[in-house]
Amino acid sequence: MKVIASFALAASVVVCSAPAFAQFAKPEDAIKYRQSALFVMSQNFGRVGAMANGRVPFDAKVAIENAEIVADLAQLPWAAFGPGTDKGNTRAKPEVWTEQAKFKEHSDKLVADTVKLVAAAKTGNIDTLKTAFGSTAASCKACHDAFRGQ
Ligand code: ASC
Q: How far away, in angstroms, is 74 Cα from ligand 1 center?
A: 12
pLDDT, tens digit (0-9, with 9 covering 90-100), for 2-58: 444 444 444 444 444 567 898 999 999 999 999 999 999 999 999 999 999 999 999
Separation in Å, CA 31 to CA 98, 109, 111, 131 = 18, 21, 20, 31
**Of the residues 45, 91, 136, which should be mutated to test ligand 1's pocket, given the most ligand atoms within 8 Å of the CB?**
45
Domain contains 52: yes
With the most atoms of ligand 1 within 8 angstroms of its CB, the residue from 38, 110, 133, 140 to mutate is: 140
Q: pLDDT of 89-127, one tens digit each?
A: 999 999 999 999 999 999 999 999 999 999 999 999 999
Task: Please report the pLDDT score of residue 109 as a whole number.
Answer: 98
Q: 80-95 pLDDT, tens per residue?
A: 999 999 999 999 999 9
CATH number of the domain bearing residue 87: 1.20.120.10
Q: Is the CB of 46 under 6 A from ligand 1?
A: yes
Question: Residue 140, annotated ligand binder?
Answer: yes
Question: Whole-angstrom distance between the N-terminal and C-terminal Cα of the chain?
Answer: 53
In a domain? residue 118: yes
Q: For the whole model, what pTM was predicted? A: 0.87
By residue range, what is the domain housing residue 133?
Answer: 2-11+25-147
